[in-house]
Amino acid sequence: MLQTISNEIANKVEKHIQIQKIFILKEDIPYEVQLEEAKKKIDQGKRVLANWRDLFKQTKQQIEDDGVDRWDFPCRAINERIPHMIDILRDLLDVAETLMKFLVFLGPNFKAVTDNSAGIDSLVAEVKCLVEPFQTYE
């Protein structure tokens, strides 16, 4: 039953944060705003998974401390899948934060200093293309 609950939580997070769609550019919304929304969504998913894992461990420890019974059974979803997903979400958060840093660095202030708007715009376009491998991920 705990395996089923854990898988359901993980599946909901996967559905909410689709790697193929999380960094897709929407023309009508500034990319910086999209990245902030992606960061919030990724962080929320990471927190949900971490809270579930921590609650499971606390409950297990409490039961064992109370001496009721030893709660020792394999639960791959909690012991393997959840930590793996947390790691992936942490990496996705790093990607989003790095993209934001590039976009801020290559922003209007840098354009003003370099007097090379076309070159900076070209670099910004290349930075935005860095997420294309995520869109083809399977």
Q: What is the pLDDT of residue 74?
A: 65
Nearest to 44 by CA among 52, 56, 137, 29: 52
Q: What average pLDDT does range 13-25 have in this prediction?
A: 89
Q: Can you tell me the distance from the alpha carbon of 109 to that of 115, in angstroms, rounded to the nearest whole number?
A: 10
Q: Can you tell me the distance from the alpha carbon of 9 to that of 77, in angstroms, rounded to the nearest whole number?
A: 10
Q: Give pLDDT tens digits for 47-94.
A: 999 999 999 888 878 877 887 666 666 677 678 899 999 999 999 999
Q: Can you tell me the distance from the alpha carbon of 135 to that of 54, in angstroms, rounded to the nearest whole number?
A: 31
Would you list the domain boundaries of the chain?
Answer: 2-135
Mean pLDDT of the chain: 87
Q: Answer for the pair 99, 130: CB distance below 8 angstroms, yes or no.
A: yes
Residue 133 predicted with pLDDT over 90: no
Q: What is the pLDDT of residue 36?
A: 94
Q: What is the pLDDT of residue 77?
A: 66
